[in-house]
A and B are shown apart, each in its own frame.
Chain A
């Protein structure tokens, strides 16, 4: 048996690689996904992530006892939480943050901190803060450094004493944004008494975190808590599901899970399918040997067991190597995710169920392949089978019968007829190659989709070079002033009114964006690239926001303006829009200003500038007291790309590598089998004076035709699968458009062609050792 194995070492190795790729992809991605889920739940449990939260304007600490008495509540912790504006030396853009109180001289009971560096805040130290790690890292801040905060209108110099992680802010995202931008938004922890003092909250709180007892009903608890807090300006309690960080992380994990489960399973399925084809073809080549065994009195089952063992050795080698490789790749990926999600640790281990699934799938596919092939091989009586297969019957192909015959040389006719004689065989090979091509497309199209979003978002919708933000709503006259600066080509106002939207007991804090008439730089377009039309009255909101507030067009929403005279007004929802990402509310700019009760105010401006004046413009704007910050568009895009790029790159690399290996495996095996089926024919031609090149053409021509057919088919299959995949990833938070760039198609085709070329080259080398004399002496 080992001799058998050695005899087909080339093919065996190719099968091993196919299985290895399938198993490694499956094991690494599924393994990482499982360990991320595992890590998340352990982290939540160990650091006591709260089951629910509530915000209130100002409630006396005495209320704590009454909250505790609510049936179903287990642990409660009150806090003071506040938004602050920050100034960081050397960073000329507006930075905002959230300050969260921690009990004097200790860890909070809920949402405990993992101290990465330094220490917690010491009791009585009014100016000490602990920074959330991503924020600290983004600015290179370390314990001992200082930052300035504008707390309740007063500048405060804060000293950083520690850097920490918290299960509550795994995803550190500005409530007004949808992407983490750790340079412009950060979370910090401060002593409770310092925060109480700064915000007039002595003996009071404005935020509650709680956990539930076993069997408690979250909705009931929320209901009772809301009733209790309403007199104190309660803004609605909510469960963990609606907590921002948790919401984003589950959303991301769901997407990851789709990618990490479905894709590798397809991959493994393809590998198993190929394995099946290859094995049955391998065994049908051995029918003579099987007949000899049968003639010696071996039973069919014995023969099956023989080949079963043979194939198991191959498959198990592949599966074992794939598991090891997958485990190793998984730990690499895990490290990447660990850094991305900032878990304090990652529980990465290989779960037996993952390995078992992979093993069952591959072994099952292999054994079915063996069983089918052996059954076919033993159907013939031994005497007949010992004679080689009868000469194949051929006929002229359809193309030739159409009268195109004279355009083809004899070798080309051989290629076409062989293809047409066994369409199923050709089809299976084509399917095999095209599925690896399709996998590639599925892996690569993400890039294109993200690129498309960036292109639309920053190329079509947001075409400004830079954004200027004012400290307060400012007169419209500022636009003319900006326009007069040298190098400013165009200036366009924007207006954001900070609001709290309420509908029934549901509420959401956001900013209403005031859209000017006929904007040139910042245009509002939906996912179908249609301009969103903003009516003179009422607001247009995204589908996600509509769902958060449970409103439909025509419903009225209570808008509490969070600036100026803090009006509360009822505003109708005029329409819904679908954007690629996010939660947003839009209004006509004048209507937004009327809502806020101010005249023609603007919050800032979008500028189109002459790049050679960048420096002068920056300098002259920084000097102006009313300018809160300036941001350059390309840097924002850069940050966005960076977030995506690293993970995507690793992921696509692994995918391309394995798809390439699978292509190689299929092509190599097909070529090898073709060679063993046709070596006699090819050797005869060599004897007749055909050169190696001409003979290679006949052998590889057929393969080339199949590959060339496979690629377009694979591209189409890949596109269809990707489109379905993109649709399955749609949530109301993200609308991932399905986009395939030409470059991706080219890339996938090139990988398939490259892998094919390598295997074809290896096989063509074997043509040199054709036995010219041997074939003359043996009967076909």
Chain B
């Protein structure tokens, strides 16, 4: 594609020891992700997609193999470096939003911009997800979809190098899910943030630039999407 590589993994392997049983979550993953692209990681539950994203996001460490983020070797980093890496470069969106209940929408974003190097303002971030009018609401006063959009605003406000979304619509109905995906699509388009979306929903893959198929801890296929759809065209 000729674009800059954001992530590069070589022989990435993750083995969980669960008592006497060893679970091979990842069995030698080799992938590259490029700046500005929207990638969907598609796979059934247990295929290893969450493990992969956790390692990419610096939440987990690999058993073997290498991960590079813009040339930085994450497999060599300690807890302190990984914290710093998450703080500077990674935006997370979780299935269950993980907002801080005691902070308003604006403050949930501000808690990240306060520690970021080059953030946009919380207001701008909430504007991007079209929630400016709810900025003073507490999470308990927001619907699931609204909470997830706050989570997206929080994730992109620091202008991260990469936005990692783990089943962002998993807890939402499809109509609300589409609205959330629209928000992700818009962020990807307007800020050019490299975005990785994990899903087991094949329909959602249609909005991706590229789709990476995972099964049983291995990459079972990579496909460029020539007929990229807008999020609002998706139904499931």
* CB-nearest residue of chain A to B110: A410
Whether a CB of chain B sits under 8 angstroms from the CB of A414 is: yes
A578 sits at the interface (CB 8 A):
no
Chain B residue numbers with a CB within 8 Å of A414 are: 100, 102-103
- B107 and A413 contacting across the interface, CB-CB below 8 Å: yes
Given known A-B contacts A393-B140, A686-B83, A776-B166, A681 and B101 have beta carbons under 8 A apart: yes
Is B215 located at the chain interface by the 8 A CB criterion?
A: no
The answer to whether B98 has its CB under 8 Å from any CB of chain A is yes
Residues of B within 8 A of A780 (CB): 96
Pick the contact of A394 from B54, B86, B140 — CB < 8 Å?
B140
B92 touches A687 (CB 8 A): yes
Contact of B98 among A392, A410, A775 (CB under 8 A): A775
User: Knowing A391-B101, A393-B138, A773-B59 touch, does A688 contact B86 (C-beta < 8 A)?
Assistant: yes
- Render A391-431 as a binary contact track against B, CB cut-off 8 A, 1 for contact: 11111100000000000011101100110010000000000
Chain A residues with Cβ below 8 Å from B103 are 394, 410, 413-414, 417
B186 at the interface (CB under 8 A from A): no
A685 close to B100 (CB less than 8 A) = yes
Task: List residues 363-391 of chain A with CB under 8 A from any CB of chain B.
Answer: 390-391
Count chain B CB atoms within 10 A of each CB in A776, A778, A780 and give the residue with the most: A776
A680 and B110 CA atoms in complex are apart in Å by: 19
List B contacts of A687 (CB < 8 A). Answer: 57, 59, 86, 92, 98
Judge if B84 is at the interface, Cβ distance under 8 Å. yes
Are A684 and B101 in contact, with the CB atoms below 8 A?
no
Given known A394-B140, A776-B166, contact A418–B96 (CB-CB < 8 A): no
Q: How far is the CB of A107 from chain B (nearest CB, A)?
A: 80
Identify B138's interface contact among A395, A685, A689, A690, CB under 8 A: A395
Residue in B83, B102, B104, B139 whose CB lies within 8 Å of A689: B83
Cβ distance A701 to chain B, nearest Cβ, rounded Å: 12
Q: Are A778 and B112 within 8 A (Cβ)? A: no
Check if A690 sits within 8 Å of B87, measured CB to CB. yes
A779 CB within 8 Å of chain B: yes
Distance, CA A413 to CA B100, complexed state (A): 11
Give the CA-CA distance A421 to B100 in the complex, in Å: 14
Instruction: Let me know if A624 is at the binding interface, CB within 8 A.
Output: no
Is residue B121 contacting chain A, with contact meaning CB distance below 8 A?
no
Interface status of A647 (Cβ within 8 A of chain B): no
The total number of A-B Cβ pairs within 8 Å is: 91
The CA-CA distance from A690 to B110 in the complex, in Å, is: 13
Cβ 8 A contact of A418, one of B83, B102, B107, B141: B102
| B165 shortest CB reach to chain A, Å | 11
Q: How far is the CB of B236 from chain A (nearest CB, A)?
A: 21
Interface size band for A: 35 or more
A772 within 8 A of B: yes
Q: Is A475 an interface residue (CB 8 A)?
A: no
Residue B213, interface by CB 8 Å:
no
Say yes or no for A66: interface residue by CB 8 A criterion. Answer: no
> B200 contacts the other chain (Cβ, under 8 Å)?
no
Closest CB-CB distance, A771 to chain B, in whole Å? Answer: 10
Residue of B nearest to A394 (CB): B102
For the complex, is B35 an interface residue (Cβ under 8 Å from A)? Answer: no
The A-contacting residues of B in range 86-144, CB under 8 angstroms, are 86-88, 90, 92, 94-96, 98, 100-104, 107, 110-112, 114-115, 138-141
In the complex, B60 has a CB within 8 A of chain A: yes
Asked whether A742 is an interface residue with its Cβ less than 8 Å from the other chain, the reply is no
B102 touching A411 by the CB < 8 A rule?
A: no
Given contacts A775-B98, A779-B96, A780-B96, contact A689 B140 (CB under 8 A): no
CA distance A689 to B95 in the complex (A): 18
Whether A778 touches B96, Cβ cut-off 8 Å, given contacts A690-B87, A773-B59, is: yes
Give A676-698 as 1s and 0s: 1 = Cβ < 8 Å from B's Cβ atoms.
00001100111111111010000
B171 on interface, CB distance cutoff 8 Å: yes
Contact B59 A681 (CB under 8 A): no
Query: Given the complex of chains A and B, what is the CA–CA distance between A392 and B95 in angstroms?
Result: 19
Query: CB-nearest residue of chain B relative to A393?
Result: B140
- In this assembly, does A777 line the interface, its C-beta being within 8 Å of a C-beta of chain B? yes
Contacts of B87 in A (CB 8 A): 688-691
Within the complex, which residue of A681, A689, A775, A777 is in contact with B86, where a contact is CB–CB below 8 Å?
A: A689
**What residues on A are CB-neighbors of B107 within 8 Å?**
410, 413
Shortest C-beta distance, A689 to chain B (Å), equals: 3
A772–B60 CA distance with the chains assembled, in angstroms: 9
CA distance A294 to B92 in the complex (A): 38
Within 8 A of A (CB), among B131-171: 138-141, 154, 166, 171
Q: Which residues of B contact A417 (CB under 8 A)?
A: 102-103
Residues of B within 8 A of A411 (CB): 111
B171 surroundings in chain A (CB, below 8 A): 779
Contacts of A694 in B (CB 8 A): 115
A316 CA / B57 CA spacing, docked (Å): 49
Determine if A773 and B54 form an interchain contact, defined as CB atoms under 8 angstroms apart: yes
- Contact string against B for A residues 102-131, beta-carbon threshold 8 Å, 1 for contact and 0 otherwise: 000000000000000000000000000000
Q: Name, among B83, B101, B171, the residue most crowded by chain A CB atoms within 10 Å (CB to CB).
A: B101
Complex CA–CA separation, A390 to B94 (angstroms): 19
| Bitwise interface map of B from 46 to 77 toward A, beta carbon under 8 Å scored 1, else 0 | 00001000100101100000000000000000
Please give the distance in Å from B138's CB to the nearest CB on chain A. 5
- Residues of chain A with a CB closer than 8 A to B154's CB: 688
- The interface residues of chain A lying within 8 Å CB-to-CB of B115 are 689-690, 694
Distance to closest chain A CB from B56 (angstroms): 13
In-complex Cβ contact of B92 among A392, A410, A688 (8 A): A688
Is B102's CB under 8 angstroms from A421's CB?
yes
Closest to B92 in A: A687
Say yes or no: A684-B100 contact (C-beta < 8 A), given A391-B140, A689-B86: yes
Given contacts A772-B59, A776-B166, contact A413 B102 (CB under 8 A): yes
Docked CA distance A291–B100 (Å): 26
B94 touching A681, Cβ below 8 Å: no
CB of B101 within 8 A of CB of A688, answer no
Residues of A within 8 A of B88 (CB): 689
Contact assessment for B83 and A392 in the assembled complex, using a CB-CB cutoff below 8 Å? no
Within 8 Å CB of A418, what residues of B? 102
Residues of the B chain whose Cβ atoms lie less than 8 Å from the Cβ of A390: 140
Q: How far is the CA of A128 from the CA of B92 in the complex (A)?
A: 98
Shortest CB-to-CB span from A622 to chain B, Å, is 77
Closest chain A CB from B166 CB (angstroms) = 6
- The answer to whether A688 and B59 touch across the interface, beta carbons within 8 angstroms, is no
Output the least CB separation between A17 and chain B (Å): 31
- 11 A-B Cβ contacts within 8 A? A391-B139, A392-B101, A394-B138, A411-B111, A417-B102, A418-B102, A685-B111, A688-B112, A690-B87, A775-B98, A776-B95
Residues of B whose CB lies within 8 Å of any CB of A are 50, 54, 57, 59-60, 80, 83-88, 90, 92, 94-96, 98, 100-104, 107, 110-112, 114-115, 138-141, 154, 166, 171
Closest 3 CB pairs of A and B: A689-B87, A410-B111, A689-B86
Excluding A684-B100, A689-B87, A773-B59, 9 further A-B contacts by CB distance (< 8 Å) are A391-B140, A393-B138, A394-B101, A684-B94, A688-B111, A689-B112, A692-B83, A773-B54, A777-B95
